[in-house]
Structure 1
Amino acid sequence: MTTSANVSSASADRLARRYGTRPAPRPGRDAGDGSDSRPGLGRRAAWLGSAAVAVVITAIVVLLNVTGDDAVATAQVVSYEVTGPEETVVQLAVTRPDPSVAVTCSVEAIDASLAQVGARVVEVPAAGSRTTTLTVEIATYARAEQGRALENGCFAASD
Protein backbone atom coordinates (compact mmCIF):
# COMPACT_ATOMS: atom_id res chain seq x y z
CA MET A 1 0.00 0.00 0.00
CA THR A 2 1.24 3.48 -0.91
CA THR A 3 1.17 6.28 1.59
CA SER A 4 0.80 9.94 0.81
CA ALA A 5 4.40 10.53 1.94
CA ASN A 6 5.62 8.03 -0.67
CA VAL A 7 3.46 9.62 -3.38
CA SER A 8 4.59 13.16 -2.69
CA SER A 9 8.20 11.99 -2.47
CA ALA A 10 7.83 10.12 -5.77
CA SER A 11 6.14 13.17 -7.34
CA ALA A 12 8.89 15.44 -6.09
CA ASP A 13 11.54 13.08 -7.50
CA ARG A 14 9.78 12.92 -10.85
CA LEU A 15 9.44 16.74 -10.99
CA ALA A 16 13.10 17.17 -10.06
CA ARG A 17 14.15 14.79 -12.84
CA ARG A 18 11.91 16.51 -15.36
CA TYR A 19 12.63 20.15 -14.58
CA GLY A 20 15.84 19.99 -12.58
CA THR A 21 16.38 21.25 -9.12
CA ARG A 22 17.01 24.70 -7.88
CA PRO A 23 20.51 25.22 -6.50
CA ALA A 24 20.69 25.85 -2.82
CA PRO A 25 20.91 29.54 -1.98
CA ARG A 26 24.33 30.87 -1.06
CA PRO A 27 24.71 32.38 2.38
CA GLY A 28 23.61 35.99 2.45
CA ARG A 29 21.59 35.72 -0.79
CA ASP A 30 17.87 35.71 -1.37
CA ALA A 31 16.46 32.19 -1.16
CA GLY A 32 13.32 33.27 -2.99
CA ASP A 33 11.14 32.66 0.05
CA GLY A 34 11.43 36.13 1.52
CA SER A 35 14.04 35.08 4.11
CA ASP A 36 17.00 37.17 2.90
CA SER A 37 19.73 38.13 5.29
CA ARG A 38 20.07 41.42 3.29
CA PRO A 39 16.44 42.26 2.57
CA GLY A 40 15.68 44.26 -0.56
CA LEU A 41 19.25 45.05 -1.63
CA GLY A 42 18.54 43.98 -5.22
CA ARG A 43 15.20 45.71 -5.28
CA ARG A 44 16.64 48.85 -3.73
CA ALA A 45 19.38 48.99 -6.38
CA ALA A 46 16.78 48.45 -9.12
CA TRP A 47 14.63 51.30 -7.77
CA LEU A 48 17.59 53.64 -7.49
CA GLY A 49 18.78 52.76 -10.99
CA SER A 50 15.29 53.25 -12.44
CA ALA A 51 14.93 56.59 -10.67
CA ALA A 52 18.32 57.76 -11.99
CA VAL A 53 17.39 56.78 -15.56
CA ALA A 54 14.03 58.58 -15.23
CA VAL A 55 15.73 61.75 -13.97
CA VAL A 56 18.24 61.71 -16.85
CA ILE A 57 15.52 61.16 -19.49
CA THR A 58 13.37 63.93 -17.99
CA ALA A 59 16.34 66.32 -17.98
CA ILE A 60 17.08 65.57 -21.65
CA VAL A 61 13.45 66.12 -22.69
CA VAL A 62 13.26 69.42 -20.79
CA LEU A 63 16.58 70.58 -22.26
CA LEU A 64 15.45 69.78 -25.81
CA ASN A 65 12.15 71.60 -25.32
CA VAL A 66 13.77 74.69 -23.83
CA THR A 67 16.66 75.05 -26.27
CA GLY A 68 15.03 73.55 -29.37
CA ASP A 69 13.35 76.71 -30.63
CA ASP A 70 15.90 78.93 -32.36
CA ALA A 71 13.48 80.61 -34.75
CA VAL A 72 13.72 84.38 -34.42
CA ALA A 73 10.45 85.04 -36.22
CA THR A 74 7.23 83.34 -37.25
CA ALA A 75 5.67 83.48 -40.69
CA GLN A 76 1.97 83.08 -41.29
CA VAL A 77 0.18 82.94 -44.62
CA VAL A 78 -2.44 85.66 -44.89
CA SER A 79 -3.66 84.52 -48.32
CA TYR A 80 -2.51 82.66 -51.40
CA GLU A 81 -3.57 82.60 -55.01
CA VAL A 82 -2.72 80.00 -57.64
CA THR A 83 -2.28 82.20 -60.68
CA GLY A 84 -1.49 79.37 -63.10
CA PRO A 85 0.27 76.05 -63.48
CA GLU A 86 3.68 77.73 -63.10
CA GLU A 87 3.15 80.31 -60.35
CA THR A 88 1.56 80.79 -56.94
CA VAL A 89 1.40 84.11 -55.10
CA VAL A 90 1.51 84.02 -51.29
CA GLN A 91 0.86 86.97 -48.98
CA LEU A 92 2.96 86.42 -45.87
CA ALA A 93 2.91 88.11 -42.44
CA VAL A 94 6.26 87.82 -40.63
CA THR A 95 6.23 88.60 -36.90
CA ARG A 96 9.44 88.93 -34.90
CA PRO A 97 10.07 90.06 -31.34
CA ASP A 98 12.97 92.31 -32.40
CA PRO A 99 12.08 94.27 -35.57
CA SER A 100 15.68 95.44 -35.99
CA VAL A 101 16.73 91.87 -36.93
CA ALA A 102 16.58 90.93 -40.61
CA VAL A 103 15.29 87.39 -41.17
CA THR A 104 14.95 84.86 -43.98
CA CYS A 105 11.81 82.75 -44.25
CA SER A 106 10.98 79.70 -46.34
CA VAL A 107 7.72 79.57 -48.27
CA GLU A 108 6.48 76.67 -50.39
CA ALA A 109 3.75 75.81 -52.86
CA ILE A 110 2.19 72.36 -52.52
CA ASP A 111 -0.12 70.27 -54.67
CA ALA A 112 -3.20 68.26 -53.68
CA SER A 113 -1.10 65.39 -52.31
CA LEU A 114 0.90 67.89 -50.18
CA ALA A 115 4.00 67.40 -52.32
CA GLN A 116 6.18 70.47 -52.70
CA VAL A 117 5.97 71.83 -56.26
CA GLY A 118 7.85 75.05 -55.63
CA ALA A 119 9.72 76.86 -52.88
CA ARG A 120 11.38 80.16 -52.21
CA VAL A 121 13.52 81.67 -49.47
CA VAL A 122 12.50 85.26 -48.81
CA GLU A 123 14.66 87.86 -47.08
CA VAL A 124 12.71 90.13 -44.76
CA PRO A 125 14.69 93.30 -44.02
CA ALA A 126 14.80 94.96 -40.63
CA ALA A 127 11.83 97.25 -40.16
CA GLY A 128 10.25 99.56 -37.60
CA SER A 129 7.28 97.32 -36.76
CA ARG A 130 7.13 93.82 -35.32
CA THR A 131 4.94 92.49 -38.15
CA THR A 132 5.84 92.86 -41.82
CA THR A 133 3.56 91.78 -44.67
CA LEU A 134 5.11 90.60 -47.95
CA THR A 135 3.83 89.33 -51.26
CA VAL A 136 5.90 86.39 -52.53
CA GLU A 137 5.73 84.90 -56.02
CA ILE A 138 6.72 81.21 -56.13
CA ALA A 139 7.63 79.57 -59.42
CA THR A 140 6.21 76.04 -59.62
CA TYR A 141 6.94 73.09 -61.91
CA ALA A 142 3.39 71.70 -61.53
CA ARG A 143 0.04 73.21 -60.61
CA ALA A 144 -0.08 74.08 -56.91
CA GLU A 145 -3.15 73.86 -54.72
CA GLN A 146 -1.94 76.16 -51.94
CA GLY A 147 0.96 78.14 -50.58
CA ARG A 148 2.27 77.90 -47.04
CA ALA A 149 5.10 79.07 -44.81
CA LEU A 150 7.34 76.34 -43.46
CA GLU A 151 6.93 75.72 -39.75
CA ASN A 152 10.00 77.05 -37.89
CA GLY A 153 11.23 78.29 -41.27
CA CYS A 154 12.38 81.79 -40.27
CA PHE A 155 15.94 82.46 -39.09
CA ALA A 156 18.19 85.44 -38.62
CA ALA A 157 19.62 86.57 -41.96
CA SER A 158 23.34 85.97 -42.27
CA ASP A 159 25.43 88.97 -43.26
Structure 2
Amino acid sequence: MKKNTRVPSRRLLLFSSLVAGAAYHAYAQIGVFMNWSPVVDRLPYVQRDAGFNVKSDGTSQKVPDCAKVVTPESRYDPLDDIHGHNRSTEQDVRSCRRRCASVDGCAFFSFWQRDGRCQLSTSSAKLVMDELGGVAGPVYCAYATRKPARGETLS
Protein backbone atom coordinates (compact mmCIF):
# COMPACT_ATOMS: atom_id res chain seq x y z
CA MET A 1 0.00 0.00 0.00
CA LYS A 2 1.41 3.39 -0.99
CA LYS A 3 1.81 5.89 1.82
CA ASN A 4 0.63 9.44 1.36
CA THR A 5 3.87 11.35 0.77
CA ARG A 6 2.31 14.80 0.68
CA VAL A 7 3.70 17.02 3.41
CA PRO A 8 1.03 19.28 4.90
CA SER A 9 1.64 23.00 4.54
CA ARG A 10 1.89 25.24 7.55
CA ARG A 11 -0.41 28.20 8.11
CA LEU A 12 1.05 31.51 9.26
CA LEU A 13 -1.29 34.11 10.79
CA LEU A 14 -0.46 37.44 9.14
CA PHE A 15 -2.91 39.52 11.19
CA SER A 16 -6.14 39.24 13.12
CA SER A 17 -8.72 41.82 14.15
CA LEU A 18 -12.16 42.15 15.70
CA VAL A 19 -14.83 44.01 13.76
CA ALA A 20 -18.39 45.02 14.57
CA GLY A 21 -20.64 42.15 13.56
CA ALA A 22 -24.24 41.61 12.56
CA ALA A 23 -27.21 42.02 14.91
CA TYR A 24 -26.81 38.48 16.31
CA HIS A 25 -23.04 38.66 16.82
CA ALA A 26 -21.49 41.47 18.82
CA TYR A 27 -18.09 40.94 17.22
CA ALA A 28 -16.62 38.77 14.53
CA GLN A 29 -12.95 37.91 14.37
CA ILE A 30 -11.16 38.13 11.04
CA GLY A 31 -7.84 36.43 10.45
CA VAL A 32 -5.67 36.49 7.35
CA PHE A 33 -3.54 33.39 6.89
CA MET A 34 -0.78 32.51 4.46
CA ASN A 35 0.05 28.91 3.64
CA TRP A 36 3.75 28.23 4.03
CA SER A 37 4.97 25.19 2.15
CA PRO A 38 7.67 23.11 3.88
CA VAL A 39 9.76 23.14 0.69
CA VAL A 40 10.35 26.87 1.28
CA ASP A 41 11.98 26.09 4.64
CA ARG A 42 14.84 24.39 2.81
CA LEU A 43 15.61 27.13 0.29
CA PRO A 44 18.95 28.94 0.21
CA TYR A 45 17.57 32.26 1.46
CA VAL A 46 17.19 30.73 4.92
CA GLN A 47 20.99 30.65 5.19
CA ARG A 48 22.23 34.22 4.80
CA ASP A 49 25.70 33.12 3.71
CA ALA A 50 24.52 30.50 1.22
CA GLY A 51 25.63 30.77 -2.37
CA PHE A 52 25.96 28.43 -5.31
CA ASN A 53 27.45 28.16 -8.74
CA VAL A 54 25.20 29.91 -11.25
CA LYS A 55 27.31 29.57 -14.39
CA SER A 56 27.66 26.38 -16.41
CA ASP A 57 31.14 27.38 -17.62
CA GLY A 58 32.76 26.58 -14.26
CA THR A 59 33.00 30.15 -12.94
CA SER A 60 31.55 30.63 -9.49
CA GLN A 61 29.32 33.53 -8.47
CA LYS A 62 27.70 34.21 -5.10
CA VAL A 63 23.97 34.81 -5.54
CA PRO A 64 22.81 37.99 -3.73
CA ASP A 65 20.19 37.63 -0.96
CA CYS A 66 17.47 39.41 -2.95
CA ALA A 67 17.65 36.76 -5.70
CA LYS A 68 17.38 33.92 -3.16
CA VAL A 69 13.83 34.81 -2.18
CA VAL A 70 11.14 32.65 -3.74
CA THR A 71 7.38 32.99 -3.68
CA PRO A 72 5.47 29.94 -2.44
CA GLU A 73 2.24 28.81 -4.14
CA SER A 74 3.15 30.67 -7.35
CA ARG A 75 4.57 30.26 -10.85
CA TYR A 76 5.55 32.44 -13.80
CA ASP A 77 3.24 32.48 -16.80
CA PRO A 78 3.64 31.63 -19.64
CA LEU A 79 5.45 28.38 -18.92
CA ASP A 80 7.99 27.01 -21.44
CA ASP A 81 8.55 30.57 -22.59
CA ILE A 82 12.14 30.07 -23.82
CA HIS A 83 12.49 28.38 -27.21
CA GLY A 84 14.47 25.18 -26.98
CA HIS A 85 14.44 25.03 -23.17
CA ASN A 86 11.20 23.33 -22.27
CA ARG A 87 10.39 21.61 -19.01
CA SER A 88 13.07 19.61 -17.24
CA THR A 89 13.21 17.53 -14.08
CA GLU A 90 15.53 18.89 -11.39
CA GLN A 91 16.52 17.61 -7.97
CA ASP A 92 15.58 20.75 -6.01
CA VAL A 93 14.85 24.48 -6.20
CA ARG A 94 18.54 25.39 -6.22
CA SER A 95 19.14 23.17 -9.27
CA CYS A 96 16.20 24.77 -11.07
CA ARG A 97 17.59 28.26 -10.37
CA ARG A 98 21.04 27.14 -11.56
CA ARG A 99 19.50 25.87 -14.79
CA CYS A 100 17.79 29.22 -15.35
CA ALA A 101 21.07 31.08 -14.73
CA SER A 102 22.80 28.96 -17.37
CA VAL A 103 20.21 29.67 -20.11
CA ASP A 104 20.43 32.92 -22.10
CA GLY A 105 17.26 34.99 -21.70
CA CYS A 106 16.00 33.20 -18.58
CA ALA A 107 14.78 35.65 -15.92
CA PHE A 108 12.44 33.50 -13.79
CA PHE A 109 12.02 29.87 -12.80
CA SER A 110 9.07 27.86 -11.49
CA PHE A 111 9.60 24.60 -9.58
CA TRP A 112 7.21 21.91 -8.29
CA GLN A 113 8.66 19.76 -5.48
CA ARG A 114 6.24 16.84 -5.85
CA ASP A 115 7.53 15.86 -9.31
CA GLY A 116 10.74 17.93 -9.67
CA ARG A 117 9.35 19.87 -12.63
CA CYS A 118 11.38 22.98 -13.51
CA GLN A 119 10.10 25.54 -16.01
CA LEU A 120 11.94 28.63 -17.26
CA SER A 121 10.52 31.99 -18.34
CA THR A 122 11.80 35.23 -19.84
CA SER A 123 11.46 38.69 -18.29
CA SER A 124 8.08 39.16 -20.01
CA ALA A 125 6.46 36.44 -17.83
CA LYS A 126 3.98 37.38 -15.10
CA LEU A 127 3.91 36.03 -11.53
CA VAL A 128 0.59 34.26 -10.82
CA MET A 129 -0.79 32.15 -7.98
CA ASP A 130 -0.40 28.37 -8.37
CA GLU A 131 -2.74 25.98 -6.57
CA LEU A 132 -0.47 22.99 -7.27
CA GLY A 133 2.28 23.88 -4.81
CA GLY A 134 4.79 25.55 -7.09
CA VAL A 135 7.49 27.93 -5.93
CA ALA A 136 8.88 30.61 -8.20
CA GLY A 137 11.57 33.22 -8.16
CA PRO A 138 13.89 35.50 -10.09
CA VAL A 139 17.30 34.32 -11.16
CA TYR A 140 18.84 37.77 -10.41
CA CYS A 141 17.84 40.77 -8.25
CA ALA A 142 16.90 42.94 -11.21
CA TYR A 143 13.92 40.66 -11.81
CA ALA A 144 12.63 40.49 -8.20
CA THR A 145 8.88 41.17 -7.86
CA ARG A 146 6.31 41.29 -5.10
CA LYS A 147 3.89 38.44 -4.39
CA PRO A 148 0.51 38.72 -6.17
CA ALA A 149 -2.86 38.60 -4.48
CA ARG A 150 -4.91 35.49 -5.34
CA GLY A 151 -5.82 35.65 -9.04
CA GLU A 152 -3.73 38.79 -9.66
CA THR A 153 -0.91 39.03 -12.18
CA LEU A 154 1.97 41.47 -11.82
CA SER A 155 3.34 43.63 -14.60
TM range (shorter): under 0.3
TM-score (structure 2 length as normaliser): 0.24
More helix by share: 1
Select the structure that is richer in strand: 1
